[in-house]
Amino acid sequence: MTPASSGSARVIECLKSLGLTKYEALVYIALLKVVSATASEIHEISTVPRASVYPVLDQLQEKRLISVARSTPKRFAALSPEEGVAIMMSRIERDAADAREILSAIHRERISHEQSSEELIWNVYGIENIQRKLTEIITAAGHDVRIIAHPQIISPEIRELLDAVAERADIEIVTHQWEGGNKGKLRVYIKKHPEMPRELDHVKDMMAGGICIVDNRRVLVILGTGNEDAVALFSETEGFVRFFSRYYNLIVDWAKKPE
């Protein structure tokens, strides 16, 4: 391939990237080689098939890259490369701006839909993993921690952590037994559970558990205190938090009533 033919192939590819077809690029290049030309002359210079020349000229006129003289026969002339490329770039920038606006609207709609409909609820299995998750969310507390829990859930380590977090956050706990006596800065309500039927003694540990609500944004719901059968649900979704906050408020109202 000669340097000239290599350059022609390259400029055709560049013009195609600016929105021209191969035939449009060939006709535009051909017209740059002359002051003006008829359709027949353009066919000879550009090698574009005769039947395609007029449709291509119409397309280039629509794209404002050529001008036409109302002579007989009509003569066509190309805009300068500076003007032509500027027009093509302007069209690309307009199309890009339109595409960005439309695509952004589509993307915003998806994000909005996800935020309003997606309900992520995570399972946590095993008492050790549950204790780790409980530690994690209490540590991150900003202004309040609300807990309803079986005494086994509030381990000495959790007690120590709650004491530390109480320096910056309000801590409220409902439980049926409090080990150690001193509550420090913690607000603790001790309420005995109703007696369970004797036939349910074998599932007592499985039915024990608790709820921890942190900053009214995160909820950990625990069922069971055994090493293997304990399971918890964790979520930050609005509906989940709202549901268990209402449940918590009912329990606290009951816990505050005198015996």
Question: So what's the pLDDT on residue 177?
Answer: 80
Whole-prediction pTM: 0.51
Each as own residue / partner, the long-range contacts of residues 72-77 (CB below 8 Å, 24 or more positions apart, any chain) are 73/38, 73/39, 73/40, 74/38, 74/39, 75/36, 75/37, 75/38, 76/31, 76/36, 76/37, 76/38, 76/39, 76/42, 77/31, 77/35, 77/36, 77/37
Question: So what's the pLDDT on residue 116?
Answer: 53
pLDDT, tens digit, 9 for 90 and up, residues 82-113 = 999 999 999 999 999 999 999 988 888 776 66
What angle do helix axes 22-32 and 3-17 make, rounded to 10 degrees? Answer: 120
Provide φ and ψ at 16, rounded to 5°: -65, -40
Token pair recorded at residue 202: 């074998």
pLDDT, tens digit, 9 for 90 and up, residues 196-207 = 455 544 444 444
Percent of the chain with pLDDT over 90: 60
pLDDT, tens digit, 9 for 90 and up, residues 141-151 = 999 999 998 88
Question: So what's the pLDDT on residue 74?
Answer: 93
82/80 Cα distance (integer angstroms): 5
Question: So what's the pLDDT on residue 259?
Answer: 63
Residue 166: which of 141, 191, 133 has the closest Cα?
Answer: 141
- The full set of domains in the chain, from first to last, is 3-87 (1.10.10.10), 122-256 (3.30.870.10)
CA 21 to chain centre: 38
58/56 Cα distance (integer angstroms): 5
pLDDT, tens digit, 9 for 90 and up, residues 105-138 = 888 877 666 555 456 889 999 888 999 999 999 9
pLDDT at 248 over 90: yes
pLDDT at 180 over 70: no
Q: DSSP strand E in the chain: where?
A: 66-69, 75-78, 121-125, 144-149, 170-175, 187-190, 209-214, 218-223, 231-235
Percent of the chain with pLDDT over 70: 84
Average pLDDT over residues 208-231: 86
* Three-class secondary structure of residue 165 per DSSP: helix
